[in-house]
């Protein structure tokens, strides 16, 4: 089934909404964020610092940091000693670490990486307004028509016989018409991006970006990933070359940090961690859970904790500090490397205890087991697990290590085990595996690690079956997920089952 949900775009440093409106015209759902109030912003708007606003829940992030540190117009003021914020590097580091496709826009002269340059002449606009766009996915560079006229202040240089089809933007009605923007104040318009630019960016990226909320997940086909990129490096190439993570090395890096912790740049406080907190979950004697040992030591998202819509701690793979010896960006572990080494959903000791209690002695059948990390944890707890995957761990990019024996088999293999509970772990939105497994399964107990309907796991076909034949029976109170990654561990029972 094809999803009809729109891609969600986060418009950071949104200003009056010129960039956001272009994404809207390309069929996206847009949320704007700016430190200044923008009462005329045409979509959902949140007044907040773009450097600290949570990035989770979006399919694409657009950022337009202030340009005065690089623009020709501000050069005389810089020469006179005025200082302007230089935010591109810190913003890029945050966007890359999020793993979400992104676009950074700024003026010519800004330190963007492999940008394309867009001009109004490329879209038939009566304005030049050159702007650079860096993106984590491929964008074609359009041909640049010659500038035949100097840009003028009024619309067509008013004098008869002297029509000049390009103008400077001064915030008047002529400027609004030239930019394709009708709602902005003059001050907002002077800083705006023509809507045609971001509409072009969104349409260029349509084939390269994941589907709605469909971030790159375990099991997505290599062919579908060939055009996706992150940090201007092709994701497929990174994934296929990824080696299993050295967990001891990551723990060593974290131990060094906590021995001499540094405060967050944004809060001025040393971040918390799960270890030693009320959320800490001891690993039972005789059990190994190296994934959890890493997760409990990661710094928590210090901006997420106060948010009323979050009720659980969210570990972060990185931290911004005010370290004067470098950029202050500390990356403790790459989320992708963690996931392909261990699992795409964090497996806490409390989760395993919760599942075992639900089972009451019943066994588990898992479809799409990957490297078998959840199967290994359940087996250590005494649960009988039949784990299947059509791929051999270590030979596919989504699981680079085998933790426990995996049987070869596709989703239909679960049909052999009606006496077991079905377990699914973050099934890819881009594949029908979850729907096929639920169709074939004849038992009455389903346990899923992933997002709910409208999220980036499983897909519409699965949730259609789930809504028709199953009812939610509980959620693990111990489940933990990374900052920006929505994930619950949920149990369902077949409707009408005794």
State how many domains the chain has. 3
177 pLDDT tier (thresholds 50, 70, 90): low
Model-level pTM? 0.58
Q: Same structural domain for residues 304 and 370?
A: no
195 lies in some domain: yes
Average pLDDT over residues 134-152: 77
Higher pLDDT, 84 or 250: 250
**Per-residue pLDDT tens for 261-270?**
988 876 778 9
Average pLDDT over residues 276-298: 96
328 pLDDT tier (thresholds 50, 70, 90): low
∠ CA(179), CA(182), CA(187), 5° rounding?
Answer: 75
Q: Same structural domain for residues 43 and 115?
A: yes
> In the chain, what is the straight-line distance between the N-terminal and C-terminal CA atoms, in Å?
31
Q: Same structural domain for residues 200 and 54?
A: yes
Task: Name 82's bridge partners.
Answer: none
d(CA 115, CA 138): 10
Instruction: Determine the pLDDT at residue 182.
Output: 66
Helix, strand, or coil here: 176? helix
Residue 437 has pLDDT above 90, yes or no: yes
Domain end position, chosen among 333, 357, 378: 333
d(CA 476, CA 324): 42
d(CA 303, CA 33): 15
Instruction: Determine the pLDDT at residue 323.
Output: 65
Q: Same structural domain for residues 50 and 126?
A: yes
Q: Same structural domain for residues 328 and 348?
A: no
* CA distance readout (Å), 209 to 8, 100, 137, 215: 12, 10, 7, 8
- Within 13 Å and on the Cβ side, how many CA atoms surround 169? 24
Domain end position, chosen among 271, 302, 333: 333
Instruction: Determine the pLDDT at residue 178.
Output: 67
Residue 306 has pLDDT above 50, yes or no: no
**Per-residue pLDDT tens for 370-392?**
999 999 999 999 999 999 998 87
d(CA 253, CA 61): 30
4 pLDDT tier (thresholds 50, 70, 90): very low
Parent domain of 31: 8-146+178-204
Q: Same structural domain for residues 329 and 183?
A: no
Q: What is the dihedral of CA 177, 181, 184, 185, to 10 degrees?
A: -20
232 lies in some domain: no
In sequence order, what are the residues at sequence separation of 6 or more whose Cβ sits closer than 8 angstroms to the Cβ of residue 263?
269, 270, 321, 322
* CA distance readout (Å), 9 to 20, 387, 424, 430: 8, 37, 28, 19
Q: Same structural domain for residues 189 and 270?
A: no
Strands 29-34 and 44-47: parallel
d(CA 457, CA 210): 12
132 phi and psi angles, rounded to 5 deg = -100, 145
Q: Cβ distance 61 to 102 under 8 Å?
A: yes
Q: Same structural domain for residues 452 and 313?
A: no
Q: Same structural domain for residues 184 and 256?
A: no
Q: Same structural domain for residues 459 and 312?
A: no
d(CA 400, CA 240): 9
Q: Same structural domain for residues 34 and 133?
A: yes
451 lies in some domain: yes
Q: What are the E-state strand segments in 20-143?
A: 29-34, 44-47, 60-63, 102-106, 116-118, 131-135
Helix, strand, or coil here: 93? helix
d(CA 121, CA 133): 16
Instruction: Determine the pLDDT at residue 153.
Output: 42
Strands 470-475 and 488-494: antiparallel
d(CA 174, CA 83): 32
CATH of the domain at 61: 3.40.50.150
Instruction: Determine the pLDDT at residue 361.
Output: 96
Q: What is the dihedral of CA 463, 466, 468, 470, to 10 degrees?
A: -160
Instruction: Determine the pLDDT at residue 168.
Output: 47
Mean pLDDT across the chain: 81
Q: Which two tokens mark 140?
A: 């074609």
Domain end position, chosen among 276, 302, 333: 333
**Per-residue pLDDT tens for 207-228?**
656 554 433 322 233 223 332 3
151 lies in some domain: no
Higher pLDDT, 362 or 184: 362
The candidate with the shortest Cα–Cα distance to 57, out of 466, 473, 430, 454, is: 454
Residue 276 has pLDDT above 70, yes or no: yes
Q: Same structural domain for residues 351 and 280?
A: no
Instruction: Give the distance, in angstroms, between the CA of residue 213 and the centroid of all CA atoms in the same chain.
Output: 8
226 lies in some domain: no
157 pLDDT tier (thresholds 50, 70, 90): very low
The candidate with the shortest Cα–Cα distance to 338, out of 358, 315, 367, 356, is: 315
Higher pLDDT, 75 or 275: 275
Instruction: Determine the pLDDT at residue 333.
Output: 86
């Amino acid at each position: 089934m094809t999803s009809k949900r729109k891609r969600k775009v986060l418009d950071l440093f949104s200003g009056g909404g010129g960039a956001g409106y272009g994404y809207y015209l390309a069929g996206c759902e847009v949320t704007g964020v700016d430190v200044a109030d923008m009462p005329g912003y045409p979509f959902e708007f949140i007044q907040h610092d773009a450097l600290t606003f949570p990035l989770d829940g979006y399919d694409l992030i657009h950022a337009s940091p202030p340009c005065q540190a690089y623009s020709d117009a501000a050069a005389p003021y810089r020469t006179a000693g005025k200082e302007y914020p230089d935010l591109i590097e810190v913003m890029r580091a945050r966007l890359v670490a999020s793993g979400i496709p992104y676009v950074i826009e700024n003026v010519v002269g800004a330190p963007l990486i492999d940008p394309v340059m867009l001009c109004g002449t490329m879209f038939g606009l009566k304005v030049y307004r050159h702007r650079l766009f860096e993106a984590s996915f491929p964008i074609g560079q359009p041909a640049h028509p010659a500038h035949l006229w100097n840009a003028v202040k009024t619309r067509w240089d008013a004098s008869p016989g002297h029509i000049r089809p390009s103008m400077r933007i001064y915030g008047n009605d002529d400027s609004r018409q030239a930019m394709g923007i009708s709602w902005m104040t003059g001050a907002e318009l002077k800083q705006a991006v023509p809507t045609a630019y971001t509409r072009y960016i969104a349409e260029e990226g349509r084939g390269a970006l994941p589907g709605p909320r469909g971030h790159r997940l375990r099991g997505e086909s290599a062919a579908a990933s060939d055009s996706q990129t992150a940090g201007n490096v092709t994701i497929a190439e990174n994934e296929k070359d990824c080696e299993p993570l050295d967990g001891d090395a990551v723990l060593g890096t974290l131990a060094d940090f906590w021995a001499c912790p540094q405060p967050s740049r944004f809060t001025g406080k040393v971040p918390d961690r799960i270890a030693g907190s009320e959320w800490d979950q001891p690993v039972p004697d005789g059990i190994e859970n190296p994934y959890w040992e890493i997760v409990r030591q990661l710094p928590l998202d210090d901006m997420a904790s106060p948010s009323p819509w979050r009720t659980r701690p969210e570990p972060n793979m990185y931290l911004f500090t005010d370290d004067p010896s470098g950029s202050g960006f500390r990356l403790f572990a790459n989320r992708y490397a963690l996931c392909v080494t261990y699992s795409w959903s964090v497996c806490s000791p409390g989760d395993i205890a919760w599942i075992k209690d639900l089972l009451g002695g019943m066994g588990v059948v898992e479809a799409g087991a990957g490297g078998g990390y959840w199967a290994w944890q359940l087996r250590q707890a005494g649960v009988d697990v039949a784990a299947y995957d059509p791929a051999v761990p270590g030979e596919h990019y989504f699981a680079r290590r085998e933790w426990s024996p995996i049987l070869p088999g596709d989703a239909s293999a679960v049909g052999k085990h009606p006496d077991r509970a079905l377990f699914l772990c973050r099934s890819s939105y881009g594949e029908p595996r979850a729907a096929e497994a639920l169709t074939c399964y004849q038992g009455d107990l389903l346990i899923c690690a992933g997002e709910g309907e409208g999220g980036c796991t499983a897909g519409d076909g699965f949730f259609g079956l789930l809504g028709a034949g199953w009812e939610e029976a509980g959620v693990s109170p111990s489940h933990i997920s990374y900052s920006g990654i929505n994930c619950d561990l949920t149990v369902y029972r077949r409707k009408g089952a005794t």
